[in-house]
Amino acid sequence: MPDQIPADYLDGLNDIQRAAVTTTEGPVLVVAGPGSGKTRVLTFRIAHLIEKGAAPWEILALTFTNKAAREMKERISKVVGKRAGNIWAGTFHSLFARILRVEAKHIGYPSNFTIYDTDDTKSLIGQIIRELSLDKTVYQTNAIKNRISSAKSSLITPKLYERNEELLAQDKQANMPLVYKIYAAYVNRCKKAGAMDFDDLLFRLYELLQNHPEVAGKYRQKFKYVLVDEFQDTNTLQYAIVKKLVQYPDSPRNICVVGDDAQSIYAFRGATIQNILDFEQDFSQFDIQTFKLEQNYRSTENIVATANAVIGHNRRQIQKKIWSDKGLGEKITVLREMDDTGEGRRVADTILEQKNRHHLANEDIAILYRTNAQSRIFEEYLRRFNIAYRVYGGMSFYQRKEVKDMVAYLRLVVNPNDEEAFRRVINNPKRGIGNTSVGKMITLAGQQQITLFEASKHVALAKRTRHQADGFIHMIEQARAKVDTTDAYEIADTIAKKSGLLDLHRGDTSIEGMGRLENFQSLLDGIKSFVEEDTVIDTETLPDKTLATYLQNIALLTDFDTKNAESTDVVTLMSVHAAKGLEYKSVFVVGLEEKLFPSWMSMDTLDGMDEERRLFYVAITRAEQFLTLSYANTRYRYGKMVMNEPSRFLAEVPAEAIVSTTHSRRSQGHEYDRVQEQRARVSGVTPPVRSRGTARFAKPKVDPANFTPSPAAEIVEGVRILHLKFGEGRVTKIDGGAANRIATIHFSDLPQPEKRIMLKFAKLQILP
Ligand X SMILES: Nc1ncnc2c1ncn2[C@@H]1O[C@H](COP(=O)(O)OP(=O)(O)OP(=O)(O)O)[C@@H](O)[C@H]1O
Contact residues for Mg ion, defined by CB under 5 A: 38-39, 581
Give Cβ neighbours of residue 349 (< 8 Å, ≥ 6 apart). 385, 664
- Give the residue among 669, 616, 666 at the shortest CA–CA distance from 310: 616
Told to check if 14 binds ligand X by CB under 6 A, we report yes
- Distance, C-alpha 53 to centroid of its chain: 42
Told to check if 65 binds ligand X by CB under 6 A, we report no
- Give the residue among 477, 486, 639 at the shortest CA–CA distance from 550: 486
Q: How far is the CB of 44 from Mg ion (least distance, A)?
A: 13
Q: How far is the CB of 32 from ligand X (least distance, A)?
A: 6
- Distance, C-alpha 462 to centroid of its chain: 43
Q: How far is the CB of 580 from Mg ion (least distance, A)?
A: 8
Candidates 298, 545, 635, 763: give the one binding ligand X (CB under 6 A).
298
Q: What separation in angstroms does the CA of 749 have from each of 256, 672, 673, 683, 745?
A: 63, 8, 10, 18, 12
Candidates 27, 37, 513, 591: give the one binding ligand X (CB under 6 A).
37
272 is catalytic: no
Q: Pick the closer one to ligand X by CB: 278 or 583.
A: 583
Q: How far is the CB of 66 from ligand X (least distance, A)?
A: 16
3-state secondary structure of 713: helix
Find the helix or strand (DSSP H, E) in which 167 lies: helix 165-173
Choosing from 147, 376, 383, 622, which is the catalytic residue?
Answer: 622
Longest Cα–Cα distance of the chain, Å, equals 91
Candidates 27, 35, 342, 416: give the one binding ligand X (CB under 6 A).
35
Cα 368 from Cα 627, distance rounded (Å): 11
- Give the residue among 524, 519, 491 at the shortest CA–CA distance from 505: 519
Q: Pick the closer one to ligand X by CB: 153 or 314.
A: 314
Amino acid at 724: L
Give Cβ neighbours of residue 382 (< 8 Å, ≥ 6 apart). 348, 351, 388, 389, 571, 573
754 is catalytic: no
Q: How far is the CB of 218 from ligand X (least distance, A)?
A: 32
Q: Pick the closer one to ligand X by CB: 220 or 298.
A: 298
Burial (CB < 10 A; 0-12, 13-18, 19+), residue 374, is buried
Told to check if 34 binds ligand X by CB under 6 A, we report yes
- 372's contact among Mg ion, ligand X, none, with CB below 5 to 8 A by partner kind, is none
Candidates 16, 17, 459, 627: give the one binding ligand X (CB under 6 A).
17
Q: How far is the CB of 457 from ligand X (least distance, A)?
A: 59
How many other C-beta atoms are found inside a 10 Å radius of the C-beta of residue 579?
A: 24
- The site string for ligand X over 90-129 (x = CB under 6 A, - otherwise) reads ----------------------------------------
Cα 37 from Cα 605, distance rounded (Å): 33
Told to check if 13 binds ligand X by CB under 6 A, we report yes
Q: Is 37 annotated as a binding residue?
A: yes
Q: How far is the CB of 42 from ligand X (least distance, A)?
A: 8
Angle, helix 141-153 to helix 179-192, in steps of 10 degrees = 80
Q: Pick the closer one to Mg ion by CB: 21 or 348.
A: 21
- 13's contact among ligand X, Mg ion, none, with CB below 5 to 8 A by partner kind, is ligand X
Q: How far is the CB of 363 from Mg ion (least distance, A)?
A: 19
Candidates 27, 28, 39, 422: give the one binding ligand X (CB under 6 A).
39
Q: What is the CA radius of gyration of the chain?
A: 30
Cα 336 from Cα 343, distance rounded (Å): 8
| Stretch of 36-44, 45-53, 387-395, 519-527 lying at the interface with ligand X (CB under 6 A) | 36-44
744 is catalytic: no
Choosing from 63, 263, 295, 634, which is the catalytic residue?
Answer: 263
3-state secondary structure of 766: strand
| Stretch of 33-41, 131-139, 220-228, 425-433 lying at the interface with ligand X (CB under 6 A) | 33-41
Q: Pick the closer one to Mg ion by CB: 298 or 383.
A: 298
Q: How far is the CB of 431 from ligand X (least distance, A)?
A: 48
- Phi then psi for 722, rounded to 5 degrees? -120, 130
Told to check if 40 binds ligand X by CB under 6 A, we report yes
Candidates 56, 581, 646, 700: give the one binding ligand X (CB under 6 A).
581
Q: Is 36 annotated as a binding residue?
A: yes
Q: Is 35 annotated as a binding residue?
A: yes
534 is catalytic: no
- 12's contact among Mg ion, ligand X, none, with CB below 5 to 8 A by partner kind, is ligand X
Cα 352 from Cα 340, distance rounded (Å): 19
| Residue count, binding to ligand X (CB under 6 A) | 19
Choosing from 58, 199, 229, 379, which is the catalytic residue?
Answer: 229
Cα 63 from Cα 88, distance rounded (Å): 10
Q: Pick the closer one to ligand X by CB: 72 or 176.
A: 72
622 is catalytic: yes
Q: Pick the closer one to ligand X by CB: 14 or 247.
A: 14
- DSSP β-ladder status, 59-63 and 28-31: unpaired
Q: How far is the CB of 596 from ligand X (least distance, A)?
A: 23
- Phi then psi for 537, rounded to 5 degrees? -100, 120
- 702's contact among ligand X, Mg ion, none, with CB below 5 to 8 A by partner kind, is none
Cis, peptide link before residue 249, omega less than 30° from 0: yes
Told to check if 297 binds ligand X by CB under 6 A, we report yes
Q: Pick the closer one to ligand X by CB: 35 or 729.
A: 35
Instruction: Please give the sequence-ordered ranges of beta strands (E in DSSP) within 434-518, or none if there are none.
Output: none
Q: What separation in angstroms does the CA of 323 have from each of 294, 298, 310, 320, 327?
A: 6, 10, 15, 10, 10
Q: Is 38 annotated as a binding residue?
A: yes
Choosing from 199, 230, 379, 611, which is the catalytic residue?
Answer: 230
- Give the residue among 543, 540, 541 at the shortest CA–CA distance from 761: 543
Told to check if 304 binds ligand X by CB under 6 A, we report no
229 is catalytic: yes
- The site string for ligand X over 226-265 (x = CB under 6 A, - otherwise) reads ----------------------------------x--x--
Q: Pick the closer one to Mg ion by CB: 16 or 208.
A: 16
Q: Is 324 annotated as a binding residue?
A: no
Q: What separation in angstroms does the CA of 563 have from each of 366, 392, 398, 433, 551?
A: 20, 17, 15, 37, 20
- Give the residue among 586, 596, 610, 767 at the shortest CA–CA distance from 680: 767
Cα 729 from Cα 750, distance rounded (Å): 10
- Distance, C-alpha 338 to centroid of its chain: 23
Sequence ranges of the binding site for ATP = 32-39
Residues carrying an active site annotation: 38-39, 229-230, 263, 622
Task: Catalog residues that contact ligand X under the rule CB under 6 A.
Answer: 12-14, 17, 32, 34-40, 260, 263, 297-298, 581, 583, 621
